[in-house]
Structure 1
Amino acid sequence: MRLHRLTLTAFGPFGGTQTIDFDALSADGLFLFHGPTGAGKTSVLDAVCYALYNEVPGTRQGSGAPVLRSDHAADGTLTQVVLDLTVGGRRLEITRRPEQLRRKKKGTGFTKERATSELREHRSGAWEPLSRSHQEIGEEIKQLLGMSREQFCQVVLLPQGEFARFLGAKDTARGELLGRLFDTGRFGAVEKRLAELRRAAEAGVRAGDDGLLALAHRMRQAAGDPSLPEVGTPAPATATGGGTTAPAGRARDGVPAPRTASRRPAAVAGQAVPAQRAAAAPAPLTPGDPGLAEAVLEWAALARSSARERRDIAVVAARTAEHAHRSAQEHADAVRELARLQHRHARARERADALAARSDAHEAARERMRQALAADGVVPLLDLRAEAERAHRTAVAAEQRIRAALPEGQQEAGAGQLAARERSLREELGSLSAARRAEERADAIAVQLRALEREARTDEDELAEADAWLDGWDALRDACERRVETAHTEATRAVRLEAETGPLRTRLAAARDRDRLTGDAAAGEQRLTDARENAVTARTTWLDLKERRLDGIAAELAGGLAPGTACKVCGATEHPDPARAEAGRVDRADEEAALAAFQRADTRREEAARELQGLRDALARAEADAGGATAAELEALAADLGRSLAEARTAGADLHPAQEALRRAEREHDLRREARQAALTRITARTTRREQLDHDLAALEEELARARGGEESVARRAAHLERQLDVLAGAVEAVRAAADAADRLKEADARLADAAFRAGFGNPALAEEAVLGPAARRELQERLDARAREEAAVAAELADPQTVDAAARPAAAPEAAAAALAAATARLREASSAEAAARTRCQELDRLSATAVTDARRLAPLREEYHRVAELAALAAGTSTRNERRMRLESYVLAARLEQVAAAATARLRRMSAGRYTLVHSDARAGGNARSGLGLHVIDHWTGKERDTATLSGGETFFVSLALALGLADVVTEEAGGVRLDTLFIDEGFGSLDEQTLDEVLDVLDSLRERDRAVGIVSHVADLRRRVPAQLRVVKGRAGSAVRHEVAGAGPHD
């Protein structure tokens, strides 16, 4: 990187515009910035940093946004910094304007001007804009320089005060600066990541231990044994044991155990540990303690053993309670049976006494049952007589009703007279059968005549409709034929117009291509002209550079000379005065780049010529195809042709429908003629048929008039006779039924009297009173049967040996036996519950123990992983006992860089100190808990001792710091990808040197020019103005500071 020019406007102490020509200052390689305090020497460096990174150096950044605008600037002057530099082989110009207030163009007051940035590159003799984006410019500059702002400020600006502090700083502060310069944050991130992994593994172990302790507390609750020790208490060492459980919180291999929770698990609620056990027991383990899993498993085994013992005791108690319960049950059953038998005997005696008291009523019931049984033989005759009486009454009533319906004179007639009249009417009704058939025939003929009348009217309507349609047939046929002819003509015209459409479209497309290609050809001609001009310019540039290279070929050849090596031109091995390259010389690479640019431009010219020729050929073809018409004329012709074609197609599309309509009309004409002829034929036949039916109907009407008598019809005359027959027949039957019913009633009375006498009853009435109905008989029989069963049951109870024996024994006491059984049952229930609970505890403890074993096995790899990650994290963090020097991982990486910096600084320090001092890196361990690994010592070769840099004097501290800064610049530059730094600045510190040391330091700085590097010194030392010819003096005044370019022994110039 080489600075060419810096222009400041209203920046810092500079109220106007100041320009610094670094090319002129760095002509001798070493130049001086000097001026009074506060004039703005450091502000020049701030402007360089601001132009590159849009920020000032960190030491002057302050807590907020820096104030860059000069207080001396006029209102109309905007703050601006323009830096012209070469970096990465590219000539760039950076323009920065900070956010600032400017006076409004209209009105009064100020408005805020936003911050702007612009990046331009010098190409082909002109500045070309690249970007106006702050972010893009920042990324571009950082990529070209390969350094961040912090690295640039340490490497290029070399602030000596900071390096003096860096030289005597603690390892922590020194590591912060080196970390920013060498970007070792990724190693710090590794440390943080390892710490996060350790915390995550620790959380996993603690979570697993929490689960184990939770299982242990659940097992303690399931065991229900207050004599057990507290859950998680490690077992004390025994005389025969192989060892003891590791104490809580003990570290393993220098790695601390996981942090424990602040709250230790308490004993299970409601189960207090005995005082003597609690006093002697050690503190319970907590999650994360080593040996917790083994302690929980040992405690689980103890709990299971205790639970099994308590289960066995509960089993024995339950069996004893079962035996006692069976004995109490047997005694209670015997007492209840005795009480039952005694109660049965007493009840039997009570029932026997009750039977004796009801003996009279029982004898009356037996007599009533005997009479009812005697009356059973009379019951059928009683029923027969009642039925005969009912039939007689019904027959007499029916006879009276039917006689009331007979005509007067026949109501008192006997059965024979009524039967004779019935036979007479039947004969008369039979004579009306023929007349009835004739009447039905007349009705059928009348129906046929009405149907013929309807058919006649239908045929007449059809005949009239056919005549009307056939009258218009000629006009319809002519219209259909004209429609077919018109559609055929239009279809033929559409075919002809469609054939004309294709060629017209081709001409229209060609005309449009012709118009487009005309513009393309004009543009192609312009591109060819530009390509020719570019090719001529590139060729002129190439020839110019080639000529300039030939002019300076001597310096180019001299650049490859070395002492003792033969010259390729003259062959001499001594080169007393080799030619020197002038500023802006052209080398072979520049010439070849210009040649390549010319070849590319010539290639683009040939491509433009070929493209133009292709456009001209296409234009000629399009003009030939389009003819002389314009695109607008052809579009109008195409539009007219399209409309005519559409009209012809629409009209021609009616051809098929028109032909089909003509065929349908012809078919309709044939159908109408056939229908008219058929109607005429039916009308003729129908006239003959109607005349025949009229004749038959007249003959039938004459016959029916005689058969109807005074009725409207034969059917009504026959219905009247049938009704009279029905009444007479009913009357004959009713008279005969009444006589028969009277005879059957007399016979039933005689048979009933005889049966009652034989049954022992004085008359039928007494027999009827003795009859019992089914319900009354069942009730009486049930009473007699119940009495018999009760007597038998009482006799059996009183004769039973068990009841007799029980009655002879003392009275039983079942309540006392039941109380004893209840007590035995309660004891059995308690014992069974205790047994079931003991078995449940054993099962639950077995299940929870199996879960604890599984969890402990699953947790073992996680615990091992925690120790591995924790050990690695402690090693990277410098807290592990294996890290003897207590160096963090990032410090370890920076230590290697510090060794390189010390080696690079020593190369210059030995010259500055006349070979006395060497700067070395020290990784000696610091005292206490301080970090180590980034120490710096000097070796005093006069004494042979290595000592701390704090023992150096003020002047020694300065040149050691300067050597350290230069060495750090070399290492950082190498880390940045070898970016060439052609301009460096050293700020202050030379006043502490004596004259000899100052000469040695200046010799070292002068040696930096060996690689065409320029070094700027910022100092107040007056002796430097004599020693450094090229100077930039910064003067201050009431209107702001200004810069003056000076040369020692010559006057100043702006």
Structure 2
Amino acid sequence: MKVRVIRIQNLNSLRGELMELRLDAPPLEGAGVFLICGPTGSGKSTLLDAMTLALYGRAARYGAAQPTEMMSRHTAESLAEVEFEAGGRQLRATWRLRRARGRADGNLQNAKRQLADVETGEVLAERADEVSRWVEELTGLDLARFLKSVLLAQGDFAAFLKAKPAERADLLERVTGTAIYSDLSRLAHEICGEKAAEVQGEKVRLGALECWSDEERQQREQMLAGQLESLNQAEKAAEKAQAAWREATQLREAREQWLRRSEQREVRRRERVEMDATLARLSEEHRAAGRGMEEAELAYAEREPIWQEAAQVEERLAEMERQLRREREDFRQSKAEEQQVRQQASLEESRLKEVQALAAKGADWLAAHAGDAALDGRIKAARIALKAWREADAEERELQRRRVEGEESAEKIAQLEEECGRLQAAQEELQSQRQRAIQAAAAAAEKVVAQRELVARARAVASYEEVRETLQDGEPCPLCGAEEHPFCTAEGAPEQRQLETALQLLKRWEVEDAKTRRADAESLQALARGETALTAVRHQRDEAKKQRAKSRPPEAEAMQAAAEAVRRCALAFSTALEGRSDGETAWSDLAVADHALEESDARARAYAEQRQRAAERQTELAQRSGVVTVFQEKLVRLSQRLKDIEEQGRQRAQRVTEQEARRRALLGEATLAEDRETHRCRRQQARDTAEKAAQQLQRTQNQRQSVESALHQLTEQMAELEQKLADRPVVTIEDERAAEAAAKVAARQVQELAQQLGALRREVEADGERRARAKAARESLDGAEAELRRWDRLRELIGSADGAKFSRFAQSLTLKQLIRLANDHLRTLAPRYRLKAQEGADLDLSIVDLYQAAVERPMESLSGGESFLASLALALGLSELASRHHPIESLFIDEGFGTLDGETLEIAITALENLRSRGKMIGLISHVEPLRERLRAQVRVLREGGGESRIEVAG
């Protein structure tokens, strides 16, 4: 067995994530000897407990106690798993413990165990007892032997060395597993007692058997022979009476049978006469049926040509029917198509009429509003004129605004009486306004010229109306050359009147514009005068400033003169504004003209829309007219096709009628299949009739032959019965009953004698059985006494009530073997010493000091280090002894290496390392510092906070 991997989770102080210790991977794999080290209580021994948990479900240190206490506190799951090699297989043993619901405060569940093949993944066992059994079978080690061959504890062997012989026997028995010898010793003692009890029991059973004496048995046998002879005689008499009864019964039954056969023969004779008559009638019917069958066959053969012709007729009729169906389907589809086309044509005609109605209504409307056609050009010209007037009006309003600003400036100039400095600003403002007024007047003049041109064009457009009145249908227009004049009527009188009103307003506007221009000119003149006055005021102000120093009155006069000049300028502005008021009336009339133009524009748009719709309707009319024409042409073609189909149908129906007449002439009203079936049935019926007649004739002939045979048989039977009854008395029923009674009496006598004989025979047989049992009992007693003597001898050799006799003998042999194996290791560990069993003492050990002339010394004379080496040699020897049938390749020693000095420790370690050549890997559990320095391959159990530890591998 070789341990490869150990996995631990939440066992004692090894708490937290799953910890894995791989002994099959560097640095431990090639070390030979490695150290398991760590502080006291850190969890070193927990590694060993995990191995026994996984393999045997028990913790090494807990003994028979439950291992559940090994679960780390405040955890919900624990795991111990070992991968090992045994029997050429790599196996994995798992022990797992969980709490309910995966909570740390849950109840503990039953531990789960499993054994699986690592390479194939096959689960070999899952029940706890099965896992232990598999492990024992594969490794050859139960838990006790595992603890003494794989896990070696130093304390056990120190006790072994220092124990007394009786205590050493118990220790050796537990260590080597030799308890079986004590059991054998006790068992030999117990079985010897049991054998003695068996001998006494056999004697009691033999004494309980009572057998007859030889004289009594001979007398009983003679009585049995006499009874047997009487029984034989009675049986013979009974057989004679039984034979007489049987003979009487047979004679009576034979007489009765002869009478029954006679009656049956008469019945058969009458049946034979009747059957002869029936045979004659059936023969005639058979001949008639034959003639009918021949006639039916002939009639069937004569119908065959008719059926061939009828088949051809029906084929032609079927083809005509298929053609008729196709033509009907074609007619139906054409009819449906015609109906659909008619519906579509009707729908298109309805839509055409609707479009025509709409087109007529649109034409009427266009005719009624023909005058609106020319509104578009006149409206455009009027709009251009109105736009120009509006622009002029806007400029005029700007000029008015500027005039208002001029008045405000005049007021400001008036205020220059108190503030001469403001007069300069007012004067500059007036100049600026004057310049703008001049520019506005020029722009207004230009716009009036433009409006005059527009009015001239409007007049030219109006002159078109005079030309339109001279147009005639069919003659070209002198302006556009068109021969159609849809808008030559004078229906546009209202629009003409509106245009004339606009023109009149335009004329008035021109007059008012002239007035405005004159007023503007006067305003400009007034502005010039005001500017002159302002210049004078400035001059007077300057003069006043010059004279201010000389006298105050001249300055007052200058200020008064300036004020007068300002008033004159304001008066000039007022005159200009009064002239402009006359133009306001013209502007109100212009608003009326603008409203009239908007109405004309709306009517022109309506006319254009109606004209567009009329054109669209004309296009739609042309399209729908074409569609209706197409539908009408299609209807004509469909109608002609329907007529053709109807004509073809009438012709084909005539041909069908002719063929059906021919078929009726051939077959009548029946179809070909019906006529063929009718004649076939007639022929078959004739055949069946002939066959039935032949069968009935044959049956009757067979029955006639059977009757004849029965008559012959009855005659023979009657002859035999007559021969049997010849020369025999007539036996009545009373004779038969008397014979029966005599036979029954004889049978009762035989039965009584047989019962007496059976009782006597059973007594003799019972005595024989008792004699046989007594013989067997004597033989059994002899055998039991011989067995008792053998077990008594064995008890004398090895047996004892406490089992010590044979156990001591076996343990002495085992101890000698153990000492031999231990001395092999002691030669390396301590060459000075050898272990030896003391002669003449049970299980007592001594030490041989080779350095002191091989003197024997008691074990107590060894020092602590020497005792440890001797104990280690015994431990290694015991491991070999326990694993003699199953090699142990992994060894874990929990020894006290602290008792050794440096040199001895080096020798011990070297000796353990040499075991590597035997294929062993040894793990030492110790916290001795020199070992940590000596062994580089280490498994360190490091203590962390909170009572937890972790595993670290170092190489």
TM-score normalized by the length of structure 1:
0.33
Determine which structure has the larger helix proportion and give its number. Answer: 2
Which entry has the higher C-alpha Rg, 1 or 2?
2
